[in-house]
A and B are shown apart, each in its own frame.
Chain A
Amino acid sequence: MLNSLMDTRFEISETKEHGAILRINDAELADEFDDFINEDCYVFTELKFETDCVCFYFGQAGCIEKIRDLIERFVNKS
């Protein structure tokens, strides 16, 4: 399932195997988002650096709606 947001820098998807995944196609933005979820929130994720994006894995307990809320909070804060 793919859920594209208005902001094309963020892309949320969900797989049965790994749960909710957020891709950010800007390394600096991903770095700021990483700081946001670690310093301002209480969210556990794992990362994966790819050539043109950074993936945040939220796991099978992660949900797309919650990730979308998180992005909104992050964008509004920036």
Chain B
Amino acid sequence: MSVMGGGKFANGAKSAAFGYLVGSAIGVYGEYQEYMQGPPIEVEIPLSNNIGPLLGPAITATVTVARAFGTFAVGKLAQWRASLTVAKSGGNAVVRTTRAGDKAIRTTRPDGSIIDITPQRVKAFVPNTHPKAPSGALNRVKFDNAIPGSKGFKRLPTQQELDILKNVK
């Protein structure tokens, strides 16, 4: 039985509503096609929108591309953003899976400080500069807005940090 023809619906009103929805969908698709075939557009690629603030100044690139490619490129770059930014900033990130099955990321900034993010909490560490300290030893950072009971060493992740975890593969 044809759905497009509306024969599936015994109720005439429902069939009419369905026809309206199909018409709207076709209209939207037409607008989309018109947009995609339009003149080239400038696309700002936010290479460091997500993880950049953790590592240093933001890095963005503006390129002029065909609309179809621009849409594709921005989507793809959103997937690669975290690793691209880390590479460009000179830092590195280690991704792991927590016991709860969530993604967690530990990012080392160029100055040696570390931020460790899970969906439940954030911990931060700074290099110990004591002359007798072992090479690479870190001190914990105390937060003003710490999670109660954490003795100041953990805070809740920001929305931006949660977005980083969402983009991590």
Contact = CB atoms under 8 A, between A and B. Distances in A.
Nearest to A18: B134
Q: Give the contact-size bracket for chain B.
A: 20 to 34
A15 to B, nearest CB: 9
Contacts of B99: 28
Given A28-B96, A28-B99, A49 B151 contact: no
Given A28-B98, A47-B125, A38 B150 contact: yes
A49 B98 CA distance: 16
A46 B151 contact: no
A48 interface: yes
B96 A27 contact: yes
Contacts of B128: 46
A46 B114 contact: no
B4 interface: no
Contacts of B132: 17
Residue from A27, A38, A46 whose CB has the most chain B CB atoms within 10 Å: A46
A28 B123 CA distance: 13
Interface in A38-65: 38-39, 46-50, 55, 57
A57 B108 CA distance: 19
A48 B150 contact: no
User: Shortest 6 CB-CB distances between A and B: which pairs?
Assistant: A46-B137, A48-B136, A18-B134, A47-B138, A38-B151, A48-B137
26 contacts: A17-B132, A17-B134, A18-B134, A27-B96, A28-B98, A28-B99, A31-B123, A35-B154, A38-B140, A38-B151, A38-B153, A39-B150, A39-B151, A46-B128, A46-B134, A46-B139, A47-B140, A48-B136, A48-B138, A49-B108, A49-B114, A49-B136, A49-B138, A50-B136, A55-B134, A57-B133
